């Protein structure tokens, strides 16, 4: 069954100097709330949040609860308890309110370019930290920057992740191990988000996405 996964990042006032490329991913709260209204259109729309920003608990969580929505939060273990990021108590708060916790590595690095020992730190050691915080198994991961290849996917499979999320865009099939997501950015309009939710990217765009995904898995 096809589904559409929206991926979001920070929300509200910007609390720190952002990295290159991060500005477009940080959403105004009003726009974010409007996106959540669209996400209520049907069970085929799923929500994820990357990076473990403190806004996940301060702004996002109350907005989700008001609408009866659930989401998965992919957290960088190396950022825990750092200023402007989630602390351990906030992670447990997300979990206690029915949200799911996933692994986004340790230091928010592109996994494709890491040597084997660093890749293990990102996909194995970081998960262990999150499991200690949550007290349950963490079996989903999201690739930072959408960066993966055959070697990375092999490492994730050996690590035993049940689902791995990318940033490839387009529709996904719920039973697939590799799940593409569409990132919501400041440069997108609300009607554009609505069209994607209701209609998908279109036949030709979806075809191009599928070809790109295949090439990334084989490289």
Distance CA 39, CA 181 (A): 14
Q: Give the CA diameter of the chain.
A: 45
Segments making up each domain of the chain, as ranges: 2-218
pTM of the model: 0.95
What phi and psi, each to the nearest 5 degrees, are found at residue 208? -65, -40
pLDDT of residue 162: 97
Distance CA 136, CA 34 (A): 33
pLDDT of residue 1: 56
Distance CA 174, CA 162 (A): 12
pLDDT of residue 21: 78
Domain boundaries 2-218, CATH class: alpha beta
Instruction: Give per-10-residue mean pLDDT for the chain (219 aa).
Output: 90 89 92 96 93 98 97 98 97 98 97 96 98 97 96 97 96 91 96 93 90 89
pLDDT of residue 42: 82
pLDDT of residue 2: 76
**Smallest Cα–Cα separation from 161: which of 127, 201, 202, 115?**
127
Distance CA 168, CA 162 (A): 18
pLDDT of residue 175: 87
Distance CA 59, CA 88 (A): 17
């Amino acid at each position: 069954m096809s589904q559409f996964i929206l991926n979001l990042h920070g929300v509200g006032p910007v609390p720190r100097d952002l990295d290159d490329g991060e500005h477009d991913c940080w959403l105004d709260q009003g726009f974010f709330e409007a996106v959540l209204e669209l996400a209520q259109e049907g069970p085929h729309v799923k929500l994820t949040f990357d990076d473990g920003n403190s806004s996940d608990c301060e702004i996002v969580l109350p907005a989700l609860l008001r609408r009866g929505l659930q989401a998965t939060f992919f957290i960088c273990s190396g950022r825990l308890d750092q200023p402007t990021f989630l602390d351990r108590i906030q992670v447990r708060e997300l979990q206690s309110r029915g949200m799911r916790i996933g692994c986004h590595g340790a230091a928010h690095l592109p996994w494709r370019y890491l040597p084997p020992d660093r890749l293990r730190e990102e996909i194995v050691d970081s998960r262990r930290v999150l499991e200690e915080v949550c007290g349950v198994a963490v079996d989903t991961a999201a690739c930072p920057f959408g960066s993966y290849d055959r070697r990375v996917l092999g490492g994730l499979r050996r690590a035993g992740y049940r689902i791995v999320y990318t940033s490839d865009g387009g529709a996904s099939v719920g039973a697939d191990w590799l799940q593409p997501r569409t990132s919501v950015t400041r440069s997108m309009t609300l009607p554009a988000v609505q069209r994607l939710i209701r209609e998908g990217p279109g036949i030709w765009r979806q075809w191009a996405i599928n070809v790109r995904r295949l090439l990334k898995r084989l490289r």
